[in-house]
Amino acid sequence: MSDNQAEPSVDLPRLTFQGRDPLRFPGMIRALQAPDEHWSETCLTEPFVEASVGRRRMVMVTDPPVVTEVLLNRQGQYPRSRLHDRILGSSFGDTLLQGEEMDWPEWRQAFLSPIHGTNELTTIDRVTMACAHALSEWHEGPVDLFRTARHLTMQALWRAFFCDQEQAQHSDPLLVEAAEAMDRLAYAPLRDQIECLRPLSARAVEIRAEDFGEPYRMLNTALLFLHAGHDNVTATLTWALWLLAKHPDIQDRVRQEWAEGPGPSDPARDLRSCPLTSAVIHETLRLYPPIPQILRDVTIDLPVGDQVLGKDFTAVLGIYAMHRNRRLWDRPDAFRPDRFMGKDLSAHRRLWLPFGAGPRGCVGTSFAFMVLSRAIGHVVSGYQLSPNPGHDLTCWIDFALRPHGRAPIRVAPRRDFARS
């Protein structure tokens, strides 16, 4: 386009929350933290909505082709937002997550080597041990679901990635201490949560010293890995079990699915033989994606149909808003796992992005699905779940999307279930 030619532009609707416009800090932060309370219908119906935050133009994007284009781009035209780097940098320091694109393939291979380097039986055994440890505290009555999910997930992550065969048989006291501290700081600022994980991260780097160089950078990366690796799965498991408690018919179907074949401790059972469990996980992640929005700086004009969004703005890739968009999903606020049954998931590929996509997509997706499926299998096989009257979960977003609330369900041990 020549310098004297006018740039074609898109006239976007303004982003408003409960009728308030313009949107500015700190009101934007409060609104984004509780979307189910503050978001207006515009956020869930329009493919693009615009806001000004300070002097920076921001556009929330929920149009699937555009979101996918931005995430999959490898030419550096949509780099991570400077705001994103400031958030991560202030909390985690210098990490490999902030490196150049070329760092990623080597980093992913190195960090995932323990899970891929051991056979599947060993990995599933370790996840089973984590489930047994976390569920041993359950008795009939209300349970603090978020706390249980955190302990289970941290145990699974630690035993799978940082323990040898002997160490995996036991619960590390340092890990238990870190999990308790994280539970006390569940809704505290990110920096405070990171600080309580530093001793455990130092132990992780010591254990994995032969795999990595640059100890300072790896310490910060271990912090990020331990925090994001357990926090996202913790939240998803909490949401999934809460949703099953609220939908006993689906809970019974999942229980029957696990009863009709090898149990959740058996390595012969994989997610392909549990299509309903897989669908429950997919639907939970659609409703409550752990990464609710991704920030990218747009350095080139962004085509939108036959028009163009002028460059030099921050794109808020609204994963949560896209997953709830009325144009894209039938009854988007309803828990309907069957929408993911009997269909090729590629049909949802551009509509369902809970872990992002492209070269910087989540590195632990396979492990997350393993933990989630086995944990759900263990829980529904051993317990009947029901809502706890007067206690509920609400949606809260800071850097990630988390459930807010304690003891949202009641459990009753199933008398016909023999624990191994």
* Amino acid 6: pLDDT: 39
More confident residue, 408 or 208: 408
* Amino acid 396: pLDDT: 78
- pLDDT at residue 86 tops 50: yes
Q: How confident is the model at residue 374 (pLDDT cuts 50, 70, 90)?
A: very high
* Amino acid 119: pLDDT: 47
Least confident of 323-332, 351-360, 377-386: 351-360
* Amino acid 117: pLDDT: 47
pLDDT > 90 in the chain, percent: 23
The mean per-residue pLDDT over the stretch 271-280 comes to 90
- Structural domains in the chain? 27-413 (1.10.630.10)
3-state per-residue secondary structure call for the chain: CCCCCCCCCCCCCECCECCECCCCCCHHHHHHHCHHHHECHHHHCCCEEEEEECCEEEEEECCHHHHHHHHHCCCCCCCECHHHHHHHHHHHCCCHHHCCCCHHHHHHHHHCHHHHHCCHHHHHHHHHHHHHHHHCCCCCEEECHHHHHHHHHHHHHHHHHCCCCCHHHCCCHHHHHHHHHHHHCCCCCHHHHHHHHHHHHHHHHHHCHHHCCCHHHHHHHHHHHHHHHHHHHHHHHHHHHHHHHHCHHHHHHHHHHHHCCCCCCCCCCCHHHCHHHHHHHHHHHHHCCCCCEEEEEECCCEEECCEEECCCEEEEEEHHHHHCCCCCCCCCCCCCHHHHCCCCHHHHCCCCCCCCCHHHCCCCHHHHHHHHHHHHHHHHHHEEEEECCCCCCEEEECCCEEEECCCCEEEEECCCCCCC
pTM: 0.85
Name the average pLDDT for the chain.
78
More confident residue, 74 or 315: 315
* Amino acid 37: pLDDT: 65
The mean per-residue pLDDT over the stretch 27-56 comes to 69
